[in-house]
Amino acid sequence: MADPIDPSGLNRTLADVVAALGRTQALPGDQDEREPPIGTGEAADGRVRAWAALPGRIAALEVEPSVLRLSAGELTREIMSAVNAALADLQDRVAPAPADLDALTGRLKDIQFDAERQFAKLTASLVEAQEQLTRRAGER
């Protein structure tokens, strides 16, 4: 089936707007093709390691036997440090990249200018068509 006729170019303009907005919201890579993000954290010189997964859960925790010689309070602090580092790393990995608002603004201004030009052409075409109809009606 043929594409619908769009003499004003409005469909293309709207598609450009949607595409520009979509590019600012997209994360790098295809969502379906990426591995789920995993945050990692370490403490006690790497002897305590934690891995965090979405939605903010600890996926794994490793504690080397040498760390068990620490006092309960020290061990707790080291585990908390590794877990918090893993959660912070996970948060950094899933946070969307900031949109380049200057580039988006420039692109949207270009699209607005094109749309104004296309609307002017459409309006002129409608006025011309109306004048032709009026002339034809007067000739009868």
The per-residue pLDDT string of the chain (140 residues; one tens digit each, 9 = 90 and over) reads 445 555 556 666 667 667 766 666 554 554 555 688 999 999 999 999 999 999 889 999 999 999 999 999 999 999 999 999 999 999 988 877 666 777 777 877 888 888 888 888 888 888 888 888 888 887 76
Residue labelled with tokens 């009026």: 134
CA distances from 9 to 14, 18, 113 (A): 9, 15, 12
Contacts of residue 76, defined as CB under 8 A and 6 or more positions apart, other chains included, come to none
Which pLDDT score is estimated for 120? 85
DSSP 8-class letter at 29: S
In whole angstroms, give the CA distance from residue 78 to residue 37: 23
Q: pTM for the full model?
A: 0.50
Report how far Cα 140 is from the mean position of its chain's Cα atoms: 60
pLDDT at position 1 is 43
How many distinct helices (H) and strands (E) make up the chain?
A: 3, 3
Q: Which residues pair with 84 in a beta bridge?
A: none
pLDDT of 117 reads 84
Cis upstream peptide for 55 (omega within 30°): yes
Task: Give the pair of three-digit tokens for residue 77.
Answer: 């602090």
- How many C-beta atoms lie closer than 10 Å to residue 111's C-beta? 18
Give the residues across from 39 on adjacent strands.
Answer: 52
